């Protein structure tokens, strides 16, 4: 991977009236990276993307996309970027082919290049069956694909996709993610979502924003470890011990585990094996596996499973964005009500986006 | 093709994808025909080979029906449905969007204006020949209609840029054009500076000269100025989204 910076935002701040939608947001995305831009509804994801595509201007700060400044060369920025806004707003009165032709014409593609690119886009986005259909008659999933198609028609090095999988059913979602994987092989992608599973599936790195600020930025594993909570799964045979030692009772095992340095909580987990299964939560980022192993050996217990797990991204996300909420007592809490991670209810995002427009 | 022309082409074609354009055209021609031939005796009452009535009624029809309907959705609908974001994040200038939309809408209105040429052709050329037509005032009348349409569409576009609702855009454009049309009549009711101003901006009195075959530079400059100012304000209004 080369280290060219394809997208760089520095100190982006955006105020809508008295509301700070973005507060000093800085990050970089390098060539070939697929980055998940995560945050609860109203965190400023769409606002950031609109600034990067020169639809709106930041109140302060600057951004460069494909080496071009959003203030000085907005057309240059847009030429190098394929952008899919939230909900893929397309002209319903046009057919898929007409629409793609329209965007290609505006982007200045000649007929020959267009037909060559069209073939590729049809293949990558699975549009062969719908080319002649009117866009207003398509399902959400297909519209989303057409949206991806128009973003790819000029073969841009950078893609900015704003919640490409919201409103889709699980099958459509999986399809779109598969297309993104396909597209992402040779492109830089910034992808916003509030669905963590998607980020885990398609991105290696995530930027988490909350209340207009970046609260975490880095590889997924680093972000998982960020809150410092690590858990261990320990499964021990309950019927046989090693070389004549007695197998442990649940309470013995629990006490032994709780006695380890750094242990915070020990919980028994259900299992269908003839074994005791415990979850051990620790505060520190250090590794207790060796200790646990030594403990088992010393006691002569049969260790069936030992696994170290950084916290799930889900939990980290909640903690990061909630902590931010507590710090932010001055602001209305209403925007972050919905910081759960399911993607079913994304109406509030649309609402807040609308208010942003009006303001 | 430049982005502006691509946008204009799309806009013009999209009128024919909905029944709107057809309904407006049919209705306009029906009303124009009724007014021209029947209203108060119409053309027959004048008993001269003159199309003066055509140039008196057509702008009224354009003001109250055609222009508000044709321009109401231009930007308002794009804002409401979110397609504006898609359009503007393509490599286009805001001015391309404004001018493209303007040309698309003006194209439709001009198609209608040109279609009224059926009147002089059918009545004084072929198949009927109702007398010898003085063509000078007819040409001047069409110059006037063109200038009037350019200004009215620009106003409609401006209004559409200021709202997200087609209905609001329709009514505001309708009332603005109606007021501008009858401004002189209103001017007679008030005195002083306001009355003078109303007389100056009255579309009806500005068109009178053209109808009689008189192309006055002041009237030409007036309509062109209205057009340019409305387009510039519309451009600024569209650009404002960036900073608000």
Answer whether A106 sits within 8 Å of B7, measured CB to CB. Answer: yes
Domain that includes residue A290, residue range: 230-310
pLDDT of A31 > 80? The answer is yes
Chain B residues whose CB is inside 8 A of the A87 CB are 82
pLDDT of A341 > 50? The answer is no
Q: Which of A75, A85, A107 sits opposite B86 (nearest CB)?
A: A85
C-alpha distances in Å from residue B104, one per residue of A96, B71, B109, B147, B152: 21, 10, 9, 16, 14
Distance CA A147, CA B85 (A): 12
Tokens matching residue B182: 């009858």
Q: Residues near A259 by Cβ (< 8 Å), separated by ≥ 6? A: none
Q: Tally Cβ neighbours within 10 Å of residue B225.
A: 11
User: Would you give the DSSP letter of residue A244?
Assistant: T
Distance CA A15, CA A20 (A): 4
Answer whether B89 sits within 8 Å of A55, measured CB to CB. Answer: yes
| CATH code at position A184 | 3.40.50.300
Across chain A, mean pLDDT equals 83
Mean per-residue pLDDT, A264-281: 85
| Shortest Cα distance, chain B CAs vs residue A172, angstroms | 22
pLDDT attached to residue B38: 82
- pLDDT per position as a tens digit, A216-250: 898 887 777 666 667 788 999 888 888 888 888 88
Chain A residues whose CB is inside 8 A of the B10 CB are 91, 94, 102
Q: Is residue A189 part of a domain?
A: yes
Helix, strand, coil % over all residues of chain A, rounded to 5: 40, 30, 35
| Residues A238 and A277 sit within 8 Å (Cβ to Cβ) | no
pLDDT attached to residue B101: 97
Tokens matching residue A46: 């769409």
Q: Is residue A55 part of a domain?
A: yes
Asked whether the CA dihedral B47, B51, B52, B56 is positive or negative, the reply is positive
Count, residues in chain B? 244
Distance CA A12, CA A51 (A): 9
- pLDDT per position as a tens digit, A159-200: 999 998 887 888 888 888 888 888 888 899 999 987 777 887
Across chain B, mean pLDDT equals 91
pLDDT attached to residue A274: 86
Tokens matching residue A352: 């807040």
pLDDT attached to residue A345: 38
Answer whether A56 sits within 8 Å of B91, measured CB to CB. Answer: no
pLDDT attached to residue B42: 77
- pLDDT per position as a tens digit, B139-167: 999 999 999 999 999 999 999 999 999 99
pLDDT attached to residue B132: 84
pLDDT band for position B46 (cuts 50, 70, 90): confident
- First-last CA distance in chain B: 32
Mean per-residue pLDDT, A259-287: 82
Residue in chain B lying closest to A353 (CA): B82
Percent of chain A at pLDDT above 90? 39
Distance CA A134, CA A138 (A): 7
Which residues pair with residue A324 across a beta bridge? none
pLDDT of A85 > 80? The answer is yes
pLDDT attached to residue B48: 77
Three-state DSSP at A206 gives strand
The answer on A248 and A234 residing in a single domain is: yes
Q: Which of A171, A195, A224 is the last residue of a domain?
A: A224
Q: Is residue A110 part of a domain?
A: no
Tokens matching residue A246: 């007695």
The answer on A191 and A173 residing in a single domain is: yes
Give this complex's ipTM: 0.91
Q: Enumerate the domain spans of chain B.
A: 3-242
Q: Is residue A21 part of a domain?
A: yes
Q: Is residue A332 part of a domain?
A: no
Distance CA B231, CA B154 (A): 6
pLDDT attached to residue A320: 78
**B86 interfaces chain A, CB cutoff of 8 Å:** yes
Percent of chain B at pLDDT above 70? 100
Range name among A46-50, A317-321, B208-212 with the lowest pLDDT average: A317-321
Chain A with chain B: Cβ pairs closer than 8 A: 69
pLDDT of A286 > 80? The answer is no
Q: Is residue A306 part of a domain?
A: yes
- pLDDT per position as a tens digit, B2-17: 999 999 999 999 998 8
Distance CA A12, CA B206 (A): 51
pLDDT attached to residue B169: 96
pLDDT band for position A312 (cuts 50, 70, 90): low
The answer on A295 and A254 residing in a single domain is: yes
Distance CA B231, CA B102 (A): 8
| CATH code at position A281 | 3.30.70.1340
Range name among A151-155, A165-169, B120-124 with the lowest pLDDT average: A165-169
Distance CA A195, CA A37 (A): 10
Distance CA B186, CA B194 (A): 10
Residues of chain B numbered 173-232 and touching chain A (CB < 8 Å): none
Q: Which of B17, B91, B244 sits opposite A107 (nearest CB)?
A: B91
Q: Which of A16, A102, A106 sits opposite B91 (nearest CB)?
A: A106
Mean per-residue pLDDT, B166-171: 96
Q: Which of B6, B14, B85 sits opposite A106 (nearest CB)?
A: B6
Structural domain total, chain A: 2
Answer whether B82 sits within 8 Å of A87, measured CB to CB. Answer: yes
| Shortest Cα distance, chain A CAs vs residue B192, angstroms | 40
Answer whether A103 sits within 8 Å of B91, measured CB to CB. Answer: no
pLDDT attached to residue A323: 58
Is residue A130 within a helix (H) or strand (E), and if so which, with residue range?
Answer: none
**B19 interfaces chain A, CB cutoff of 8 Å:** no
Residue bearing the bigger pLDDT, A101 or A264: A101
Unique residue bearing structure tokens 């520095």? A10
pLDDT attached to residue A352: 41
pLDDT band for position A112 (cuts 50, 70, 90): very high
pLDDT of A349 > 80? The answer is no
pLDDT attached to residue A310: 64
Which residues pair with residue A40 across a beta bridge? none
| Residues A262 and A283 sit within 8 Å (Cβ to Cβ) | yes
Residue in chain B lying closest to A98 (CA): B10
pLDDT of B193 > 60? The answer is yes
pLDDT attached to residue A133: 94
Residue in chain A lying closest to B242 (CA): A56
Three-state DSSP at A25 gives strand
CA angle A312, A313, A314 (to 5 degrees): 90
The answer on A188 and A74 residing in a single domain is: yes
Answer whether B85 sits within 8 Å of A90, measured CB to CB. Answer: no
Which residues pair with residue A38 across a beta bridge? A193, A208
Distance CA A67, CA A229 (A): 39
Tokens matching residue A205: 């790195």
Instruction: Enumerate chain A positions whose Cβ falls within 8 A of a Cβ in B.
Output: 16, 50, 53-57, 75-76, 78-79, 81, 83, 85-87, 89-94, 102-103, 105-108, 150, 357, 359
DSSP of chain B: --HHHHHHHHHHHHHTTSHHHHHHHHHHHHHHHHHHHTGGGHHHHH-SS--HHHHHHHHHHIIIIIHHHHHTTTTHHHHHHSHHHHHHTTT--HHHHHHHHHHHHHHHHHHHHHHTTHHHHHHHTSS---S---HHHHHHHHHHHHHHHHHHHHHHHHHHHH-S-HHHHHHHHHHHHHHHHTHHHHHTTS-SHHHHHHHHH-HHHHHHHHHTT---HHHHHHHHHHHHHHHHHHHHHHHGGGT-
Q: Is residue A112 part of a domain?
A: no
- Give strand ranges (E) for A17-74: 19-30, 34-38, 60-65, 68-69
Q: Is residue A176 part of a domain?
A: yes
The answer on A167 and A73 residing in a single domain is: yes
| Shortest Cα distance, chain A CAs vs residue B115, angstroms | 26
Range name among A103-117, B30-44, B112-126, B204-218 with the lowest pLDDT average: B30-44
pLDDT band for position A307 (cuts 50, 70, 90): confident
Percent of chain B at pLDDT above 90? 61
pTM (global) more than 0.90: no
pLDDT attached to residue A311: 65
């Amino acid at each position: 991977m080369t280290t060219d910076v394809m997208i760089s935002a520095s100190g982006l701040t955006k105020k809508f009236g008295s509301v700070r939608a973005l507060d000093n947001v800085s990050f970089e995305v390098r060539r070939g990276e697929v980055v998940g831009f995560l945050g609860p509804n109203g965190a400023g994801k769409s606002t950031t993307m609109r600034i990067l595509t020169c639809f709106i201007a930041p109140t302060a700060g600057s951004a460069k996309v494909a080496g071009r400044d959003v203030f000085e060369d907005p057309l240059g920025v847009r030429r190098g970027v394929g952008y899919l806004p939230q909900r893929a707003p397309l002209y319903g009165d046009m057919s898929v082919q007409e629409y793609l032709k329209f965007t290609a014409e505006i982007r200045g593609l000649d007929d020959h290049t267009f037909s060559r690119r069209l073939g590729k886009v049809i293949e990558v986005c699975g549009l062969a069956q719908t080319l002649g259909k009117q866009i207003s008659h398509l399902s959400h999933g297909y519209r989303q694909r057409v949206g991806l198609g128009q973003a790819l028609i000029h073969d841009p090095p950078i893609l900015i996709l704003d919640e490409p999988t919201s409103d889709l059913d699980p099958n459509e979602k999986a399809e779109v993610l598969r297309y993104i994987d396909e597209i992402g092989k040779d492109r830089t992608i910034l992808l916003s979502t509030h669905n963590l599973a998607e980020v885990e599936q398609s991105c290696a790195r995530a930027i988490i924003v909350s209340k207009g600020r970046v609260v975490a930025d880095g590889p997924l594993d680093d972000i998982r470890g960020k809150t410092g909570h690590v858990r261990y799964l320990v499964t021990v045979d309950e019927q046989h011990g090693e070389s004549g030692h007695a197998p442990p009772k649940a309470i013995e095992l629990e006490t032994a585990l709780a006695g380890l340095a750094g242990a915070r909580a020990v919980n028994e987990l259900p299992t269908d094996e003839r074994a005791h299964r415990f979850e051990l939560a620790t505060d520190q980022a250090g590794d207790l596996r060796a200790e646990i192993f030594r403990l088992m050996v010393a006691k002569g217990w049969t260790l069936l499973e030992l696994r170290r797990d950084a916290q799930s991204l889900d939990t980290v996300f909640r903690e990061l964005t909630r902590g931010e909420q507590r710090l932010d007592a001055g602001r209305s809490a209403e925007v972050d009500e919905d910081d759960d991670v399911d993607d079913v209810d994304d109406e509030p995002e649309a609402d807040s986006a609308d208010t942003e427009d009006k303001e | 093709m430049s982005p502006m022309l691509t946008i204009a082409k799309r806009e013009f074609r999209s009128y024919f994808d909905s029944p709107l354009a057809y309904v407006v055209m049919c209705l306009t021609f029906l009303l124009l025909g009724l007014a021209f031939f029947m209203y108060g005796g119409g053309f027959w009452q004048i008993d001269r080979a003159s199309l003066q009535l055509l140039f008196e009624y057509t702008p009224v029809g354009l003001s109250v029906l055609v222009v508000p309907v044709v321009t109401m959705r231009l930007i308002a609908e794009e804002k409401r449905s979110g397609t504006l974001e898609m359009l503007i994040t393509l490599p286009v200038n805001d001015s391309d969007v404004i001018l493209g939309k303007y040309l698309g809408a003006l194209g439709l209105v001009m198609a209608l204006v040109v279609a009224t040429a059926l009147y002089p052709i059918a009545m004084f050329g072929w198949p009927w020949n109702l007398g010898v037509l003085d063509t000078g005032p007819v040409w001047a009348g069409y110059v006037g209609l063109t200038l009037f349409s350019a200004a009215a569409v620009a106003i409609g576009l401006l209004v559409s840029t200021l709202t997200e609702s087609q209905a609001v855009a329709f009514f505001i454009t309708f009332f603005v054009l109606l007021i501008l049309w009858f401004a002189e009549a209103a001017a007679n009711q008030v005195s002083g500076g306001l009355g003078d101003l109303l007389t100056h901006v009255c579309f009806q009195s500005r068109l009178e000269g053209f109808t009689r075959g008189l192309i006055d530079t002041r009237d030409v400059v007036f309509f062109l100025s209205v057009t340019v100012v409305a387009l510039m304000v519309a451009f600024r209004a569209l650009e404002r989204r960036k900073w608000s």
